């Protein structure tokens, strides 16, 4: 039994969640404690008690702790990557890459702990000095989704601790294994008791407790739009700080002048890798007339070569969908797209057993052509290996289609034209823009996040993380 870490102790929960391998549903990854609201309350109490001392800890102490956590994660990359692939279903190379990212994020924020910014300036009044400094905000509640089970926790926990906050961390209940392994590493890092707490459990129980407890100063949430709206409403009602990273319907434009191989590789990677379960996945391909048919033919040829199999097997390109419910959502959307007039050009086949005969949630990557902007497949997030294609007359129409969405996380363009690339970078309504690159796959040392319906509040990651995890103080002194 994997227990919760509350006030420095490993505690049993009130229920148990079974973590099942989506590549082979006979394989139980482990059993994980589920806390109730009273245990979440204990964690908040412990974090509140730990805050005064931790917020005044030295940069050296924070550096040493975060650096040690990063070092252990990187040293155990292969083992933790195997656990991640086993519980979530992304392929082993993708999972090992994600673990590496988590390790480097801790290293990055170890460095940031040594570089607290501030400004000293003269006042507009004679003889007065002004200092502008940043301070920790207090106890932060961190709520994460299942699709990046170690990287997203890392990019919230590391800056929270680096800037002197105390943490109550609630991972997704579907894949708690990587989160638990990360918490176990953190528990041995030398942090004072109560500074970091792991509370696994239901969103409607543990998550809700975090949203409504007045001692939780801020909530950082990544997940679906529907849950994000609940987080926002609860936080506004008690004036708590909050930050939301939610869904996407990310476009990738392919222009007539694109390098065909570059465009196909970028579209296949960002549409289908990690089983399409990335918030930054390109789920709408917007292709201009002159290249449309050649591009579709090349996509179909490439897609036929992709191996859908056990996430941990060498040579697998695409692992399973995370669970039965997500698989149902994916196949439902394929059906809806067809009923609305889309053509299934390739894939979309539910496969019940992998090549080794194990039962799992397999779906061959699906390409749906001949769609129109109003179809649900072009407006709603599917969150699976399902990509739609829109045809555009020219760049101007393609740009308008790409921005015609309630979301605004990432947007891409494949082109050899400097003119169009430059124009697109300026006019794409998205937080992240890629030229001749997949929309998914971003660096760990720069801001991450979107606009419109995808995100709310300050950006995560990079030096921008300080915006959320600190509050500014302006001090005046008459000497």
Give the active site residues.
245, 279
Q: Rounded to the nearest whole angstrom, what is the least distance from the CB of residue 209 to ligand NAD in the complex?
A: 9
Count CB atoms within 10 A of the CB of residue 332: 12
Q: Does 439 bind ligand NAD (CB under 6 A)?
A: no
Q: Does 140 bind ligand NAD (CB under 6 A)?
A: no
Q: Does 382 bind ligand NAD (CB under 6 A)?
A: no
Among 6, 246, 255, 318, binds ligand NAD (CB under 6 A): 246
Angle 366-281-447 from CA coordinates, rounded to 5° = 175
The torsion angles phi and psi of 357, rounded to 5 degrees, stand at 90, 0
Strand segments, DSSP code E, in 385-454 are: 386-392, 410-414, 432-435
Ordered strands of the 455-456 beta sheet: 9-11, 4-6, 196-198, 166-170, 139-143, 216-222, 241-245, 455-456
Tokens of 120: 């000293």
Helices 92-113 + 77-88 axis angle, to 10: 120
Q: Does 451 bind ligand NAD (CB under 6 A)?
A: no
Q: Does 385 bind ligand NAD (CB under 6 A)?
A: no
Q: Rounded to the nearest whole angstrom, what is the least distance from the CB of residue 459 to ligand NAD in the complex?
A: 10
Among 17, 147, 439, 461, binds ligand NAD (CB under 6 A): 147
Euclidean distance between CA atoms 179 and 169, whole angstroms: 9
Q: Does 145 bind ligand NAD (CB under 6 A)?
A: yes
Applying CB under 6 A, the span of 22-30, 139-147, 295-303, 345-353 interacting with ligand NAD comes to 139-147
Tokens of 441: 């796959």
Euclidean distance between CA atoms 189 and 221, whole angstroms: 25
Tokens of 281: 């996945």
How far CA 328 is from CA of 212, 263, 321, 333, 366, in Å, comes to 32, 29, 10, 9, 14
Among 381, 395, 434, 456, binds ligand NAD (CB under 6 A): 381
Binding mask 395-434 for ligand NAD (x = CB under 6 A): --------------x-------------------------
CB of 40 or CB of 255, closer to ligand NAD: 40
Q: Does 141 bind ligand NAD (CB under 6 A)?
A: no
Applying CB under 6 A, the span of 3-11, 244-252, 416-424, 439-447 interacting with ligand NAD comes to 244-252
Q: Does 245 bind ligand NAD (CB under 6 A)?
A: yes
Helices 77-88 + 177-187 axis angle, to 10: 150
Q: Does 222 bind ligand NAD (CB under 6 A)?
A: yes
Which phi-psi region, left, alpha or beta, contains residue 323 (left: φ > 0; alpha: ψ -120 to 50)?
Answer: beta
Identify the bridge partners of residue 282 per DSSP, sorted by sequence position.
250
Euclidean distance between CA atoms 205 and 36, whole angstroms: 6
- Residue ranges in 161-220 that form contacts with ligand NAD under rule CB under 6 A: 170, 172-173, 203-204, 207-208, 211
CB of 279 or CB of 413, closer to ligand NAD: 279
Binding mask 265-304 for ligand NAD (x = CB under 6 A): --------------x-------------------------
Q: Does 13 bind ligand NAD (CB under 6 A)?
A: no
Q: Does 143 bind ligand NAD (CB under 6 A)?
A: yes
Q: Does 17 bind ligand NAD (CB under 6 A)?
A: no
Q: Does 229 bind ligand NAD (CB under 6 A)?
A: no
Asked if 110 contacts 63 with a C-beta cutoff of 8 angstroms, the reply is yes
CB of 98 or CB of 309, closer to ligand NAD: 98
Strand segments, DSSP code E, in 123-275 are: 128-136, 139-143, 166-170, 196-198, 216-222, 241-245, 250-254
CB of 45 or CB of 147, closer to ligand NAD: 147
Tokens of 139: 């106890």
Q: Does 386 bind ligand NAD (CB under 6 A)?
A: no
Give the binding site for ligand NAD (CB under 6 A): 143-148, 170, 172-173, 203-204, 207-208, 211, 222-224, 227, 230, 245-248, 279, 381, 383, 409, 454
């Amino acid at each position: 039994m994997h227990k919760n870490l509350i006030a420095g102790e490993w505690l049993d929960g009130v229920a148990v969640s079974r973590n099942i391998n989506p590549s082979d549903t006979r394989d139980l990854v482990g059993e994980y404690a589920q806390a109730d609201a009273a245990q979440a309350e204990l964690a908040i109490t412990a974090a509140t008690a730990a805050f005064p001392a931790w917020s005044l800890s030295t940069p050296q102490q924070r550096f040493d702790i975060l650096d040690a956590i990063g070092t252990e994660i990187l040293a155990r990359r292969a083992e933790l990557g195997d656990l991640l692939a086993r519980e979530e279903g992304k392929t082993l190379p993708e999972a090992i890459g994600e673990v590496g990212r988590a390790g480097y994020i801790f290293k990055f924020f170890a460095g940031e702990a040594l570089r607290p910014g501030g400004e000293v300036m003269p006042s507009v009044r004679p003889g007065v000095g002004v200092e502008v400094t940043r301070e920790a905000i207090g106890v932060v509640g961190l709520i994460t989704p299942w699709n990046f089970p170690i990287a997203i926790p890392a990019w919230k926990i590391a800056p929270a601790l680096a800037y002197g906050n105390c943490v109550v961390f609630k991972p997704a209940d579907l894949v708690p294994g990587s989160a638990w392994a990360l918490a176990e590493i953190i528990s041995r890092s030398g942090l004072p008791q109560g500074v970091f707490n792991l509370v696994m459990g239901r969103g409607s129980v543990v998550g809700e407790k975090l949203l409504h407890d007045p001692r939780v100063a801020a909530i950082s949430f990544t997940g679906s739009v529907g849950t994000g709206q609940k987080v926002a409403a609860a936080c506004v009602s008690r004036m708590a700080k909050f930050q939301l990273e939610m869904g996407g319907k990310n476009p990738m434009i392919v222009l007539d002048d694109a390098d065909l191989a570059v465009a196909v590789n970028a579209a296949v990677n960002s549409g289908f890798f990690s089983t399409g379960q990335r918030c930054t996945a390109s789920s709408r391909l917007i292709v201009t007339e002159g290249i449309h048919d050649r591009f579709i033919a090349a996509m179909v040829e490439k897609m036929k070569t992709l191996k859908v199999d056990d996430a941990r097997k060498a040579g697998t390109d695409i692992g399973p969908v995370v669970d039965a419910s997500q698989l149902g959502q994916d196949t439902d959307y394929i059906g809806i797209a067809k009923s609305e007039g889309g053509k299934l050009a390739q894939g979309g086949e539910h496969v019940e057993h992998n090549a080794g005969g194990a039962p799992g949630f397999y779906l061959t990557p699906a390409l749906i052509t001949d769609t129109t902007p109003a179809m649900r497949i072009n407006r709603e997030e599917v969150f699976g290996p399902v990509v739609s294609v829109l045809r555009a007359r020219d760049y101007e129409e393609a740009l308008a289609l790409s921005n015609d969405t309630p979301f605004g996380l990432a947007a891409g363009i494949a082109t050899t034209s400097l003119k169009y690339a430059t124009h697109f970078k300026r006019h794409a309504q998205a937080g992240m823009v890629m030229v001749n690159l997949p929309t998914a796959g971003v660096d760990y040392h720069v801001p991450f996040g979107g606009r419109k319906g995808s995100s709310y509040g300050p950006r995560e990651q990079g030096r921008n993380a300080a915006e959320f995890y600190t509050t500014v103080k302006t001090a005046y002194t008459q000497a």
